[in-house]
Amino acid sequence: GFPQDEAASLKSLQYRQRHAGDYFLGAYEVDPSSDDGSSPRRRLIGYICATLTPQPTLTHSAMSTHEPEGTHVAIHSVCVATSHRHRGIASALVREYLARLDQARIESALLIAHPELVPLYERVGFTVVGPSAVVHGAKPWVELKREL
């Protein structure tokens, strides 16, 4: 998850799910406790959520609204359960997400990340735009972009 000063509120997540549900993607595993002969239950271990924006760079507005006619995806969260980190799940999730965007009318994917996570996103094809103008929490952010 995210630190409290960076985490999306339940209200924000509900807004994004309601208005931009097509831009959510989850990573699941079969819940081993569901081995009772019924259909296996899946447990969410990671997700990506985003909204659309007409802007080719991230702003506070782009990070707080969904504009259905936008051609740029503003990725708000790439989140993997603490117990499942450092297993390649985030990279696989982002690669799958980008592959799905390639089939849409999207021009680019945009996100902000803390400096220590920049190499993860560079490995999956993002390039650094520069320091982000978006202030969210106490730590600085770097904006990254992937042309599609």
pLDDT per residue rounded down to tens, the chain (148 residues): 555 655 566 687 777 788 888 999 999 998 777 666 677 788 899 999 999 999 999 988 888 889 999 999 999 999 999 999 999 999 999 999 999 997 778 999 999 999 999 999 999 999 999 999 887 777 889 999 999 9
**DSSP code of 87?**
S
CA 140 – CA 119 distance, rounded (Å):
16
Question: In 31-106, where do the E strands start and end?
Answer: 42-53, 72-80
Determine the pLDDT at residue 122. 98
In a domain, 51, yes or no: yes
In a domain, 45, yes or no: yes
In a domain, 72, yes or no: yes
In a domain, 85, yes or no: yes
Q: Exposed e or buried b for every residue in 67-98, given b needs 16+ CB within 10 A?
A: beebbbbbbbbbbbeeeeeeeebbeebbeebb
Determine the pLDDT at residue 90. 95
Enclosing domain of residue 87: 10-30+41-109
Helix segments in the chain, DSSP class H: 10-20, 89-102, 118-123
74 phi and psi, to 5 degrees? -95, 105
In a domain, 141, yes or no: no
Whether 13 contacts 2, CB under 8 Å: no
In a domain, 57, yes or no: yes
Domain count, the chain: 1
Domain holding 53: CATH number? 3.40.630.30
In a domain, 4, yes or no: no
Residue with tokens 């985030």: 90
In a domain, 126, yes or no: no
